[in-house]
Amino acid sequence: MSDEHTRAGTNATRSGSTPSGPARSRQAPADFVQPARRIAYEVIAAVRESDAYANLLLPTRIQRAALTTADAALATELTYGTLRMQGFYDRVIALAANRAVTAIDPAILDVLRLGAHQLLATRVATHAAVNESVSLAKQVGSRSATGFTNGVLRTISRSSAEEWRERVLERAVNVDDRLAAEYSHPAWIVRAFRQSLKAEGHENELADLLAADNMAAKVNMVALPGLATDADRERLGLADEFSPVGFVLDSGDPYHLVTATDGRVRVQDEGSQIAALALSRARPIVAGERWLDLCAGPGGKAALLAAEARAGGAELVANELVPARATLVRTALAALPESVPVWEVDGTTIGQTHPGEFDRILLDAPCTGLGALRRRPEARWRKQPKDVADLAGLQSGLIDAALDALKPGGILAYVTCSPHTAETRAIVALAVRKAGGAVTALDTAAVVQSFSAANLDLPADSGSVQLWPHRHGTDAMFITLLQRAL
């Protein structure tokens, strides 16, 4: 789903207008639910029931229902707003219902979350939020559930959002629990973010980071260097603050632009662009170099790397183990005039099958994705601390294999879309320690700053770069450049 939809939804509800679909006639059935609310509920329920991804499912449901622009904006705001603030709303609901949310039927709890969001965070009229929530409860729950839903939402509606915030926060058991409640993040993620910020001396910015996670991300585009034309770039709006090839889209359908330009421009977060460019611009490209994108799916960074390699006379190989994701990589690379090979092999074996073969390797490692909670808000409720530990073995195996596949003097960019130190600094430190003196860290901050259009305010002489939503307006990408000894 495009971030344009998210932004449109946010603006619609804050502007004072209430997007609506077809007018409800006097003859409408008593359990009528406006299409936008119905779709928002269905997506929220699918996220809970089947681990669906809202950013993939919501656009499909909106298109299938042929919603108006206003209704699409409302459905998007209701879906993403409810998912982002689910933790806070659960605490409000528990107080209003005088029972734990675990004691509430899951389908009705989703209805209550959706209703709470309308009452506490939008300008939707109280009667509309309550009445249609009750109608929705009638459709998905028992007869008794409708009275319960009505009672809980009426109770919530009698107090302001600020009053509910004060009641929730006064019940917090410690500082991290208070932040978890206010900014709707699991406490373990709050603690992880605190540790990551502390490593840079910015622990005092924790609340700003959590707040940024609850803001809709901008629609960011990349113009592939050497392929995008001046006419392509003129369609894209303002240039990115940091990426020399990125743009912020002000209006319009981003995917229409992708199609209209045959993929020469595409949707890509500015942080992802910086991660790819850190490798391609770490030093001048020598014609004939061989590059590898080791975990290339879904292909955004691979396309940018391929364009950079082509401009410098190098060649890129992309690898993606999962066949469906490999197909996405091939689609992303279709904009390139020349064919780019796409392998489907286990990345942890690349050092054995292709030892010392590549001049540059990008390892965008599988991770928890905690750096992209603005775009995938449901991930904060889906991930668990155990996921970090489970991924560590794979991340270590991949970085070791990638280092073995480097030529002497070759450069590896280790990248994650997570700021969790167990997925970032700890993985890199272990790999460097195991490699002995064969691997050294480059000044990644200096490399990134060398091509950035503006000052990123990064620590000097830093072997790694951690981008942040609240500081840089990007996903929380972690980037480290490592070089194999000659």
pLDDT tens figures, 400-458:
999 999 999 999 999 999 999 999 999 999 999 999 999 999 999 999 999 998 999 88
Q: Which residues contact 320 (CB under 8 A, 6 or more apart)?
A: 295, 296, 297, 299, 326, 328, 329, 342, 343, 344
Q: Is the pLDDT higher at 185 or at 252?
A: 185
pLDDT in the model for residue 455 = 92
What is the fold, at CATH topology level, of the domain defined by 268-484? Rossmann fold (3.40.50)
pLDDT in the model for residue 20 = 37
Task: Using a pLDDT cut of 90, give the percent of the chain over it.
Answer: 87
In our burial notation (b when 16+ CB lie closer than 10 A, e otherwise), range 367-398 reads bbbbbbbbbbbbbbbebeeebbeebbebbbbb
| Residue 459 pLDDT class (50, 70, 90 cuts) | confident
State the pTM of this model: 0.91
On the 0-12 / 13-18 / 19+ scale of CB atoms within 10 A, 146 is buried
* 417 carries an active-site annotation: yes
For the chain, domain boundaries:
3-165, 172-213, 268-484
- 365, 373, 402, 417: which is the annotated catalytic residue? 417
- Per-position DSSP letters for 145-164, written without gaps between them: HHHHHHHHHHHHHTS-HHHH
pLDDT in the model for residue 460 = 72
Q: What is the CATH number of domain 3-165?
A: 1.10.940.10
pLDDT in the model for residue 250 = 82
Decide if pLDDT at 107 tops 90: yes
- Measured CA to CA, the distance from residue 121 to residue 118 in angstroms comes to 6
- Measured CA to CA, the distance from residue 306 to residue 316 in angstroms comes to 6
- Measured CA to CA, the distance from residue 311 to residue 223 in angstroms comes to 14
Residue ranges for the binding site for S-adenosyl-L-methionine? Answer: 295-301, 320, 346, 364
Reference 21, options 62, 60, 51, 82; nearest CA is 62
pLDDT in the model for residue 374 = 95
pLDDT in the model for residue 251 = 77
**Adjacency order of strands within the sheet including 220-223:** 238-239, 246-248, 220-223, 265-267
Mean pLDDT of 340-361: 98
pLDDT in the model for residue 252 = 75
Decide if pLDDT at 3 tops 80: no
Task: Give the phi and the psi of residue 165 in degrees, each rounded to 5.
Answer: -60, -45
Q: Which of 19-23, 35-39, 46-50, 115-119 has the lowest mean pLDDT?
A: 19-23
Mean pLDDT of 102-122: 98
Question: What are the strands, taking DSSP E only, across 280-437?
Answer: 290-293, 315-319, 342-343, 358-364, 406-416
Exposure on the CB side of residue 83, measured as CA atoms within 13 A: 35
pLDDT in the model for residue 278 = 98
